[in-house]
Amino acid sequence: MTAPLEISPVKATPAPEAVLTGAGQIEGRSLGQIAWRRLQRDKVAMAGGITVILLVLVAIIGPHITQSPNTYHQNLINPTFSRPVGAFGGISHAHPLGVEPVSGRDVLSRIVNGAQYSLLIAFLATFLAVSLGVIFGVIAGYFGGWLDAVIARSMDVFLAFPLLVFALALVGVIPPTAFGLSGNTLRIALLIFVIGFFNWPYMGRIIRGQTLSLREREFVDAARSLGARPAYILFRELLPNLVAPIIVYSTLLIPANILFEAALSYLGVGLYPPTPTWGGMLSDAVTNQYFQIDPEFMLVPGLAIFITVMAFNLFGDGLRDALDPRTR
Amino acid sequence: MPTLYQMIRFIIRRLIITVFLLIVVSMITFAIFFLIPRLAGQNSYQLASQYVGRNPTPAAIHAIEQKLGFNEPLAVQYGRFAKGIVLGAHYNAGPDKTYCPPPCFGYSFRNQQPVWPMMLSDIPVTASLAFGAACLWLVGGTAIGVLSALRRGSVFDRAAMGIALAGVSLPIFFTGLIALELFSFRWPIFPDLQFVPLTENPYLWARNLVLPWTTLAFLYAALYARLTRAGMLETMGEDYIRTARAKGLPERNVIVKHGLRAALTPIVTIFGLDLGLLLGGAVLTEFTFSLHGLGLFTVLAIQNSDLPQILGVVMLTAFFVVIANLIVDILYAVVDPRVRY
Amino acid sequence: MNRRSIIPLAAAGAVAALGLAACGSAVKTATPSQVAYNAGNTSVVNPSAHKGGTITFNNSSVPDSTDPGNTYYAHMWNMARLYGRSLMTFKSCPGKCGLQLVPDLASARGQVSADGLTWTYHIKPNIRFEDGTKVTTTDIKYAVERTYAKDVLPNGPSYFALLLTDSKYPGPYKDKTPGKLGLKSVDTPNATTIVFHLQKPFADFDYVVSLPQTVPVPQAKDKGANYQLHPVSTGPYKFQNYTLDKQFTLVRNTEWDPATDRNRKQLADKIVVNLNVNADTIDNNLIHNFAHIDMAGTGVQAAARAQVLSSASLRKNADAAPSGFLWFTYINSKVKPLDNVHCRRAVEYAADKVAYQTAYGGPIAGGSIASTVLPPNIVGHQKFDLYGATTKPHGDVAKAEQELAACGQPNGFATNMAFRSDRPKEKAASTAMQQALSEAGIKVTLQGYTSGKYFTNFAGVPTFVHQHDLGLSIGGWAADWPDGYGFLYYLTAGDAIAPAGNTNIGELDDPKVNNLFAKAVATTDAGARNQIWPQIDRQVMSQAVIMPGVYAKSLLYRNPNVTNVFVHLYYGMYDYAALGRK
């Protein structure tokens, strides 16, 4: 698991990076603008960010322009060996990334459709984890006392659970129809729930730490002495200062969740066939050892995962550097 | 540095919390495996029919249902389980009763053999994997991180961080499989990867673990390199470093005694947690390399819905994590003089 | 495979003839120059009397039990012969010769009384356990009694409880009689005679006593659920040690007398079985000589298949063995609209057999396209093809649409299909079905279940099937013994429908089929009886409750360092009791 590093909280007052403009007027820049400029200067992070945007676009638009991911093309498969006819896993004009062994399904369309599911699950799970983490972290950090003790202990409990094992167990135990949902809808909901629910302590701990230190700051003191109610302090004073770590760690949590979902699919509790997921495709490539006779079939989803995760990591790193005033 | 008395008080307090934590973990695990199927509509008869092998006659299913106690209320079943851990249990194996001494995690639903000895025999494998990889990644990762921080912006730094990023972004089963395919089958540098106990043949033990160690360590080393680098960069910019340099201390002293020490605190925290979790079984690595450790044990137990085995291994993992955290906290006191208990 | 307990039906008269021409006394062997692809199917490859060495088996999972009375897998039944001898056994030779029953512990076939209700066997004198004590018929009776103790030993078949009188016997662990030999339906008048009393005549009883459940168990050494750790051996090998889920080792049993046993060999010094080996590495282990035999005996995976078949030096070590299985899809006859036979026939016409075959591994490693329920190596097989499986193997959408119109669903319909999610081939096959049927307008939604619970909780529970609209379910079947009765009964007889663990998932309750079964078991003449099986097959196919996929084959790899290798047709894999080392 990516271990979180505490970053120092950014002050609400703007850092003086003033620039002379025109007729001698000194203009301050807001924090966001400063961060944006610094991010722009970091070429690698920008590359990551652009890749992320491209991937999201592909995931949204792609399934509409590629062919059906479930059509079998038996004529492209050698029946004795169950592998694609032709080099590099059957690459051709019609199938730019080749076809799968046994079924002959188009790999490109499966990757693109898989992107949809992988990203959807990762985003929603991250959203769940972040929401829970922020809520509990802020409450624990701000109110302290027994509330903090209870929340901190439950975070310990969750962190003591072997994550992967539990996810595996939970998803394996629930039958295909339960709680009013069935099939893939149920699975997707389960995966989002499991990944998000078991990940919230990571976010929770960071936010709690940040809140603890922010609580002692002068501006919070000032607001309190002015008679502001806790809700006001939470929303107007603390939360804006937490936005930076929230964004940064969300961006870093998403790739971890993509990997997590891939691992679950690999271990056999992914979505039902024929729905493609990246982890599921890797798993297919591995059981039956197709990767030895058709290595391209394993490389494509592996690289897809790799590029996506790398892009998010680069972008997240760059974002973190940009928002932290101390790193130069 | 806290006094011995304070330390002991602290440890005792933490141990009590540990016990409490383990109880909670066991309850939650129990609930998941028993409650959820019922919530999703299964009754105890259907539950029992999974453990009857391939010949599910109603007589057999009823017999198993009775024997494994599925038709009893949840609280009673949990009570029996808890009692077994503390006091041991008697089990009807046919012609006579066998006694299972504490801690008795029950008997496997599948082959009716006690769970605890099966787990015990898997611990050396996981321990070998975990400790070996841990040494590799801790030393390698932090070393690279320190060097990168010191030579910030250089080719070394960029290359190292690039590779580290790649390491963190690749799924471990992917790297493991490629490693296996290349170094065990295609170019048989490490042929026939079977676990050989350390006591039997240290050379073979190490040789057959090299691939799993490097695959696992690669992932974590990447993480630790990034962390160490970031931590070092932060501390090296602090005032007291500047003071130390101004005082004329040798550079190595400055780096190691002052810079690294402060940067190590978050590393130590995470290391404890990571090692603890890993001792519960590096599921994906063991699965890929067929190492019969606790991780593989867990996957198989889940596939067979073997509740006693699952309960046993989850509790054991939780135990390792909590103990690891305890040790880390103690180390904190040693490493960081500001910590008070 | 799935086997279910049978219900005894009336059968009077003589022992069923096995209907197979006995092999000539000379068994074909293949000299080194004749080692070739598929040689193991018809001859003994690498024949040798050389003693010594260790044979290493790899198993991708663990046995359900090593206790011969508590296991239900073909590879375990094969393995158990190394340390256990039952009353009867199958002859150890390649080809159809291996489907013959011959006496093992018994000195001759069972003698039936005139009313067919009493079967008597005499065992050979001076057979000893591994500790030197003599085997008596009370040990066999005790072994049979153990099969009634379902709470301790739940895994094995239940034929004795169903066929013999005194079905309420509670098992020896709850037996209150002194000596614990209270099973009234089995008598042991002396140390070498054993008598079984049946509820109704059952001509196939010799098959029943060939099961490993008649392997004798000495009562003094029985440990119930723990007996699996060291079953007391009557075979050529005995247990040296057993680390659960990891490994067990067998060594020579000096008390085994080869003069009394012509179906086993004792060539190697040691047999090591490694358990829970990653399935993907087993094939490489075989090819690189890190292991000698894949215990599951179901063939190599796709990568090794490609490697083996495309290399001349490896290809000659391969055998495409008929495994005795049929892979197929059940078509339920109660779920609407499949309750109308024309809708079911539409499914039969629309299915793409080639895709199905490819899913299971193609013609060599998957099997040949099937058009009947009975596979070719079962007595009673006759070739016929009602739905163009061999003439139009990619499916006949036009005919399918005609049938859809006839059943009142001209625009197709929707239904669900069950399969075992942890079996990649079944996943691929059901996806193939889904794809092919969609071309005829039949929309199939796939639902995966774990194989452990497939029959007990899901597809094998008729109420579950109806509730979840599971019109189609994947299945695979091999008979407990190789005659038409053994293959067809549990799949198609009305009486075989059960509320859980059902294997007649099509829920066929056809009077014509049921009457044919009744007629068959009442027919004493083997020749006449064997004419009835194909009639049942035809009727079942015309009712379209089963869509046969492939007659399964496994591509087995023969490690050249192993001697006396051949495919045993009953087990569908190499005969484990014949092997030796170079």
Tokens found for residue C336: 């609407």
CB-based contact C60:C297 (threshold 8 Å): no
Please give the residue that has the higher pLDDT: either A321 or C364: C364
| Whether the Cβ atoms of residue A282 and residue A210 lie closer than 8 Å to each other | no
Task: Evaluate whether residue B42 is within a structural domain.
Answer: yes
Same domain for B236 and B153? yes
Q: Give the pLDDT confidence score for residue C31 in this predicted structure.
A: 64
Residue C109 is encoded by which pair of tokens?
């076939």
Report residue C123 as tokens: 């065992």
Distance CA B116, CA B106 (A): 8
Establish if B10 belongs to a structural domain.
no
A129 near A202, Cβ under 8 Å?
Answer: yes
Query: Among residues B43, B66, B100, which one ends one of the domains?
Result: B100
Contacts of A292 in chain C (CB under 8 A): 303, 306-307
Does any CB of chain C come closer than 8 Å to the CB of residue B296?
Answer: yes
pTM of the model: 0.80
Report the residue from B57, B61, B93 with minimal CB separation from C226.
B93
Q: How far is A217 from chain B (nearest CA, A)?
A: 21
Between residues A164 and C390, the one the model is more confident about:
C390
Arithmetic mean of pLDDT over chain B: 80
Q: Tell whether B71 and B138 lie within a shared domain.
A: no
The answer to whether A274 contacts C304, with C-beta atoms less than 8 Å apart, is: no
- Structure confidence at residue A19 (pLDDT): 43
Strand C293-294 relative to strand C318-331, pairing: unpaired
- Partners of C462 on chain B (C-beta within 8 Å) are none
Query: B140 and B66 share a domain?
Result: no
pLDDT tens per residue, range A281-294: 887 777 666 777 77
Reply yes or no on whether the pLDDT at B179 is more than 90: no
Could you tell me if B179 and B132 lie in one domain? yes
Is A22's pLDDT higher than 50?
A: no
Amino acid letter, C451: S
Partner-chain contact A160 B270, CB within 8 Å: no
Q: Which residue has the tokens 């093309």?
A: A73
B80 and B133 both lie in a single domain: no
Q: What's the rounded Cα separation, in Å, for the pair C500 and C411? A: 34
Instruction: State whether B263 and B136 are in the same domain.
Output: yes
C contacts of B194 (beta carbons < 8 Å): 274
Contacts of B64 in chain C (CB under 8 A): 150-151, 154
- Cis (ω within 30 of 0) for the bond into A175? no
Domain extent, residue B149, equals 116-335
Chains that touch B (3 or more CB pairs under 8 A): A, C
Tell which wins on pLDDT, C266 or B181: C266
Number of domains present in the structure of chain B: 2
- The answer to whether the beta carbons of residues C330 and C508 sit under 8 Å apart is no
Average pLDDT over chain A reads 77
Same domain, B294 and B152: yes
Reported confidence tier of residue A165, pLDDT bands at 50, 70, 90:
confident
Any domain includes B247? yes
The helix, strand and coil proportions of chain A, stated in percent and rounded to the nearest 5, come to: 70, 5, 25
User: Which residue from C475, C455, C480 is spatially nearest to C326, judged by alpha carbons?
Assistant: C475
Residue ranges of E strands in B103-227: none
Q: What is the pLDDT along chain C (582 residues), one digit of tens a residue?
A: 333 322 222 232 223 333 333 344 456 776 665 788 999 999 999 999 999 999 999 998 888 899 999 998 899 999 999 999 999 999 999 988 888 889 999 999 989 888 888 999 999 999 999 999 999 999 999 999 999 988 888 888 888 988 899 888 988 998 888 888 999 999 999 999 999 999 888 877 888 899 999 999 999 999 988 899 999 999 999 999 998 888 999 999 999 999 999 999 999 999 999 988 877 778 888 988 889 999 998 888 877 888 898 889 999 999 999 988 999 999 999 998 999 999 999 999 999 999 899 888 888 888 999 999 999 888 788 999 999 999 999 999 999 999 999 999 899 899 999 998 777 788 888 988 998 999 999 999 988 887 767 887 789 889 999 999 999 999 998 888 888 888 898 899 998 888 878 889 999 999 999 999 888 877 767 778 788 999 999 999 999 999 999 999 999 999 999 999 999 999 999 999 999 998
- Does position B1 have pLDDT exceeding 70, yes or no? no
- What spatial distance separates the first Cα and last Cα of chain A, rounded to whole Å? 26
- B53 and C72 within 8 Å at the Cβ level: the answer is yes
- Report the pLDDT value the prediction gives residue C13, as an integer from 0 to 100: 28
Of B100, B127, B157, the position where a domain reaches its end is: B100
Q: How big is the B-C interface in CB pairs under 8 Å? A: 148
In 3D space, the residue among B340, B322, B160, B339 whose CA is nearest the CA of residue B265 turns out to be B339
- CATH number of domain containing B138: 1.10.3720.10
pLDDT at A13 over 50: no
pLDDT computed for residue A328 by the predictor: 44
Cα–Cα distances in Å, from C96 out to A325, C377, C531, C533? 82, 8, 19, 19
Give the strand pairing for C580-581 and B89-92.
unpaired
d(CA C220, CA C136): 13
Same domain, B182 and B33: no
Cis peptide before B337 (omega within 30 of 0): no
Give the nearest partner residue to A273 out of C362, C446, C450, using CB atoms: C446
Residue C555's closest CA among C268, C206, C193, C303?
C303
Per the domain annotation, does B2 fall within a domain? no
The ipTM is: 0.76
Nearest CB partner across the interface for C280, out of A72, A74, A286: A286
On whether both B166 and B248 belong to a single domain, the answer is: yes
Residue C550 pLDDT: 95
pLDDT recorded at residue B334: 66
pLDDT band at B329 (very low <50, low <70, confident <90, very high): confident
Say if the Cβ atoms of C225 and B63 lie within 8 Å: no
**What is the distance of C-alpha C217 from the center of its chain?**
24
- Taking contacts as CB-CB distances below 8 angstroms, the residues of chain A near C449 are 175-176
Give the closest-approach CA distance of C36 to chain B in angstroms.
25
Q: Is residue B174 part of a domain?
A: yes
A–B CB contacts, 8 A cutoff, strictly below: 137
Contact by Cβ (8 Å): C274, C56 = yes
| B275 within domain boundaries | yes
Tokens, residue A328: 């130069």
Question: Does residue B121 sit in the same domain as residue B89?
Answer: no
C-alpha angle C107/C113/C116, rounded to 5°? 110
Nearest-CA distance from C453 to chain B in Å? 5
Choose the closest CB to C72 out of B55, B94, B192. B55
Sign of the alpha-carbon dihedral angle for A249, A254, A259, A260: positive
**pLDDT for the residue C11:** 30
Q: CB–CB of A266/A260 below 8 Å?
A: no
- Confirm whether B96 is domain-assigned: yes
| Domain end among B53, B75, B100 | B100
% of chain A residues with pLDDT over 90: 7
**Which of A77, A81, A267, A282 best probes binding to C when mutated, by most C CB atoms within 10 angstroms?**
A81
Structure tokens belonging to residue C247: 């490994």
- Please judge whether A274 and C434 are an interchain contact, meaning their C-beta atoms are less than 8 angstroms apart: yes
The subunits that touch chain A, with at least 3 C-beta pairs less than 8 Å apart, are: B, C
Q: Where are the beta strands (DSSP E) in chain B?
A: 89-92, 97-100
Cα–Cα distances (Å) from B340 to A145, B1, B97, B262, B330, in that order, read 19, 8, 53, 16, 11
Same structural domain, B125 and B249: yes
Question: B207-246 as b/e, with b when 16 or more CB fall inside 10 Å?
Answer: ebbbbbbbbbbbbbbbbbbbbbbbbbbbbbeeeebeebee
Query: In chain A, positions 47-86, which contact chain B (CB-CB < 8 Å)?
Result: none
Give C302-342 as a DSSP string: HHHHHHHHH-HHHHTTEEEEEEEEEEEEEE-SSSTTTTSHH
> In this structure, is residue B167 part of a structural domain?
yes
User: So what's the pLDDT on residue A29?
Assistant: 64
Q: Is the pLDDT of residue A14 over 60?
A: no
Mean pLDDT of all residues in B210-235: 85
Each residue of B44-77: b (16+ CB within 10 Å) or e?
bbbbbbbbbbbbbbebbbbbbbebbebeeeeeeb
Any idea which of A144-153, A316-325, B47-56 has the lowest mean pLDDT? Answer: B47-56
Question: Do residue B280 and residue B180 come from a single domain?
Answer: yes
- Pick the range with the lowest mean pLDDT from A230-239, B221-230, B268-277: A230-239
Residue C4 token pair: 């279910």
